[in-house]
Structure 1
Amino acid sequence: MHKGPNNEVFDPRRHLMVTKTLKVKVYVGNGWHLDFSQTHFDSFSPPDFYTKVYIVGVPSDCAKYKTEIKNDEWIPVWDEEFTFGMTVPELAILRIEVREYDRSDKDDFGGQTCLPVSELRTGFRSVALYDHKGEKYTSVRLLMRFQFESNLAPA
């Protein structure tokens, strides 16, 4: 990493200005009914999915949000947007995890993925999800939109 203007070394714990804002919109999920048995998540009803969206990076950038729980839906539609202000987007990872809400036990795992923010491009994306072992599900996908805004003043 490069030294700062006063020859200082980068300190990730130091308070920094937000340089970039990432808006993440989670529209819909699909494919669980193809990759899982009808009774995998709930024995007597369709699953109750929700999505967690995290930024993992320097301490000031770390944040997490959660969509509403969509009850009894194999194809949940969330249509929710979350905004992340980032000070060091080059080191940030977007983590997406889908869980199935369970009233009486631990929530069931429905898939996850991690995407480097520096690799994201603005627009609509079909985001594949992976199991606990990192194996890609055949059909499970989220329809999402990524949008960036620069918070730096024009030169």
Structure 2
Amino acid sequence: MECSRQMVVVDTLKKPDFLLKLGSNNEVFDPRATLPVKTTLKVTVYMGEGWHLDFRPTHFDPYSPPDFYTRVGIAGVPADTVMKKTKPIEDNWVPVWNEEFEFPLTVPELALLRIEVHEYDMSEKDDFGGQTCLPVSELRSGIRAVPLHSQKGEKYKSVKLLMRFQFV
């Protein structure tokens, strides 16, 4: 019997120079220091699609289509760390949010854009609908189809968000 191997490609990011070198007074980088904003990331969440292809019709709600909302935020130094969310779109497998968020960033080199989709559930814990995490330093301005992953990190076949990234 032959074993099949799945190749996993891992992108690596070089540490920023300020983490590798001492400052002019032999100081090391302090992530809690008050720093000026270097750039602002504007993120627009337009819409999502693909859940009806990757999940059975009753996965999120046995009686109606799902009520999806998106959480978007930054993981990074304490001054940059924040989470925001869209309003839930009721009863729709293809939710359209058209919501824009701004994230002022003091250390964009260490910032990750966190994206999560959940299905709002009034009576129980909200259901997980997908996630991804993108290094801000790797984002390019423009409209993008962003694939989402399961809680185990497995990429869904069809689930994507249509988003726009801008640096101002």
TM range (shorter): over 0.9
Task: Using the TM superposition, give the Cα deviation of residue 97 of structure 1 relative to its aligned residue in structure 2, in angstroms.
Answer: 0.1
Mapped to 2, the partners of 1:3 and 1:148 lie a distance apart of: 29
Return the index of the structure with the highest Cα Rg: 2
Give the strand-richer structure, 1 or 2: 1
Corresponding residue SS for 1:147: strand
* Number of residue-to-residue matches in the alignment: 149
Which 10-residue stretch deviates more, 24-33 or 2-11? 2-11
Q: 71, 96, 103: which one pairs with 1:77?
A: 96
| Structure 1, unpaired ranges of 5+ | 150-155
1:104 aligns with 2:128: no
Q: Once the two structures are aligned, what percentage of the paired residues are identical?
A: 68
Corresponding residue SS for 2:79: helix
Task: Between the two structures, name the one with larger relative contact order (CA 8 Å, sep ≥ 6).
Answer: 1
Q: 73, 81, 85: which one pairs with 1:62?
A: 81
The root-mean-square deviation of aligned C-alpha atoms, in Å, is 0.8
Task: Using the TM superposition, give the Cα deviation of residue 63 of structure 1 relative to its aligned residue in structure 2, in angstroms.
Answer: 1.0
| Structure 2, unpaired ranges of 5+ | 1-18
Aligned to 1:3: 22
Mapped to 2, the partners of 1:67 and 1:30 lie a distance apart of: 16
Aligned to 1:153: none
Q: 39, 43, 50: which one pairs with 2:58?
A: 39
Which 10-residue stretch deviates more, 4-13 or 129-138? 4-13
Runs of 4+ in structure 1 deviating by more than 4 angstroms, as ranges, are none
Q: TM-score, normalised by structure 2?
A: 0.87
Mapped to 1, the partners of 2:167 and 2:26 lie a distance apart of: 30
